[in-house]
Structure 1
Amino acid sequence: MSGGRVQKSGGKAAKILYQPFGIVGSIVGGIVAGQVFKQVYKRVAPGHPDDAPTPLQSEYRLREILLASLIQGAIFSVTKALVQRGGARAFEKLTGDWPGD
């Protein structure tokens, strides 16, 4: 152990078996992250339409587009990490093998 971290290592078979779980987790995580972003954006930018501005919508200032992109990126990144980590832990409980490393 270094720095309080426990190194877990799974075999090649665990990585292969985990792939379908990872794919399903990614799809679910993307859907959840999209819904969370919509709710957060409604609160951060009241009075705006339900959908955040995209880079090609000329009626929005660059600052608004960058803020929406920053919030969306952070939410998607955190959601992805949570889903991947949770999926890996569930896989480990089911199989006894860690799917990463």
Structure 2
Amino acid sequence: MDKRISKANYKPAGIVLGLAAGTLSGMVFQRVWSMTMHRTAPHPIDEDRGWGEILFAAALQGAIVAVIRASIDRAGATGVRKFTGYWPHD
């Protein structure tokens, strides 16, 4: 017997974890940006901010989102295995 959980069965947990990852990564990005730049993060259409700052903020936010998303997804899959004994798969 296959010792994995199908994507359809894992999807509800994945959705909840994805929402948590998005919320957490937004908070972490805002905190990191304000600690390093000593002001709020730029919005892409902010006329007073230059291209460099806008693109750097986007790259930093993307990296933070990716790391937090991967961490939460991995922790969720590990939790499912501990709870059910099976690893979720695609």
Q: With the length of structure 2 as denominator, give the TM-score of the two structures.
A: 0.89
Query: What is residue 15 of structure 2 aligned with on the other side?
Result: 23
1:40 shift after superposition: 0.1
1:11 shift after superposition: 4.5
Matched letter for residue 37 of structure 1: F
Distance 1:26 1:11, change over 3 A: closer
Query: What is residue 10 of structure 1 aligned with on the other side?
Result: 4
Tell which structure's C-alpha radius of gyration is larger.
Answer: 1
1:33 shift after superposition: 0.6
Structure 1 gap segments, 5+ residues each? 1-8
Query: What is residue 39 of structure 1 aligned with on the other side?
Result: 31
The structure with the largest helix share of the pair is 2
The aligned length equals 88
C-alpha RMSD over aligned residues: 1.4
The structure with the largest strand share of the pair is 2
Aligned mate of 1:63, from 46, 52, 72: 52
Structure 2 gap segments, 5+ residues each? none
SS in structure 2 opposite 1:57? coil
